[in-house]
Chain A
């Protein structure tokens, strides 16, 4: 089984820049039609924000990766990311294909945010089973052993409890060097922060349940210490 080896490559330049300054990204944007979203993202770019992110809640807002693809053609500098793409909503090979395509369209500006999903009603609306959190985390861990490798152009064969890939290679893979950075959503100290430490370039905390409930400064310090 491949995939348990810890990253040996140096930090991604986008991560490395975090040592110099506190940066800001914009998530979501206005509800409503595409031109409003496009104008808002272009405004964020002009105002100097570092990134623009789309949530992955297809029962609430337009599709995450489709809107990122459109933003890739209407922005020039912003990093474009998913915050966060739910591993249950797309087959991991198809997800990797979409991420690689948005990365190529944007000339290497994508950040892949991945998460286990936390909106039960949305799973239900789409006819998906909503397994307990331990199983959802296991599926996230499996996706992390598949998607980044596909993005790098590797041929992947994988048999897990949740994800199976018979044999797949992306042609062409993602454009970005050294790789598409991966962000993991969640501040769970037993699982998601450990997955972030093992597989990710970035960790996303928040005070909501989705972010691990990091409410106080002490919470955040403790979670970063776990990381």
Chain B
């Protein structure tokens, strides 16, 4: 298209995003997801412990993703992302 590749920000979107410290807590959160988003849980969602979520984001970062937009519905998930995912993603090795 005649413009530099880097002039378009590459974002990736997950709906919904659910994090919890344990599988049990995660299962409880899954049940509270609104009906119209239930179908996304196994496709477009980002669900897991902070460690699992970082492992899910890593290959996307490697593929060139620069920005994640996460559909978050509750404060606990928000805090886990801020405290345990964002720093871990920032520490991933830089990509070309």
Binding site for B on A (CB under 8 A): 6-7, 10-11, 14-15, 18-19, 21-31, 40, 43-44, 47-51, 53, 55, 60, 83, 181, 183, 185, 194, 196-198, 200-208, 210-211, 214-215, 217, 220-221, 224, 227
Q: Is the interface of A mostly helix, strand, loop or mixed?
A: mixed
Q: How far is the CA of A3 from the CA of B9 in the complex (A)?
A: 21
Nearest Cβ distance between residue B44 and chain A, in whole angstroms?
A: 3
Are B12's CB and A214's CB within 8 A?
yes
A15-B8, A44-B78 given as contacts; is B1 within 8 A of A27 (CB)? no
A198-B1, A224-B63 given as contacts; is B9 within 8 A of A208 (CB)? no
Q: How far is the CA of A146 from the CA of B14 in the complex (A)?
A: 29
A30-B73, A197-B3 given as contacts; is B15 within 8 A of A18 (CB)? no
A7-B3, A43-B75 given as contacts; is B68 within 8 A of A205 (CB)? no
Taking CB atoms, residues of chain A closer than 8 Å to B12 are 204-206, 211, 214, 220
Are A27's CB and B13's CB within 8 A?
yes
Can you list, as one digit per residue, whether each of B29-43 has a CB less than 8 Å from chain A (1) or not (0)? 000001010001001
Taking CB atoms, residues of chain B closer than 8 Å to A48 are 82, 86
A29-B72, A83-B69 given as contacts; is B6 within 8 A of A202 (CB)? no
Name A18's closest neighbour in chain B (CB-CB). B66
Can you list, as one digit per residue, whether each of B1-32 has a CB less than 8 Å from chain A (1) or not (0)? 11111111111111110000000000000000
A11-B6, A40-B78, A196-B8 given as contacts; is B70 within 8 A of A220 (CB)? no
Taking CB atoms, residues of chain A closer than 8 Å to B71 are 26-28, 55
Are A18's CB and B13's CB within 8 A?
no
Are B67's CB and A24's CB within 8 A?
yes
Band of interface residues on B: 35 or more
Name B73's closest neighbour in chain A (CB-CB). A30
Taking CB atoms, residues of chain B closer than 8 Å to A214 are 12
Q: How far is the CA of A25 from the CA of B71 in the complex (A)?
A: 9
Are B78's CB and A26's CB within 8 A?
yes
Are A27's CB and B72's CB within 8 A?
yes
Are B63's CB and A217's CB within 8 A?
yes
Are B8's CB and A24's CB within 8 A?
no
Are A220's CB and B63's CB within 8 A?
yes
Q: How far is the CA of A58 from the CA of B1 in the complex (A)?
A: 34
Q: How far is the CA of A207 from the CA of B12 in the complex (A)?
A: 9
Taking CB atoms, residues of chain A closer than 8 Å to B51 are none
Nearest Cβ distance between residue A81 and chain B, in whole angstroms?
A: 8
Q: How far is the CA of A89 from the CA of B15 in the complex (A)?
A: 22
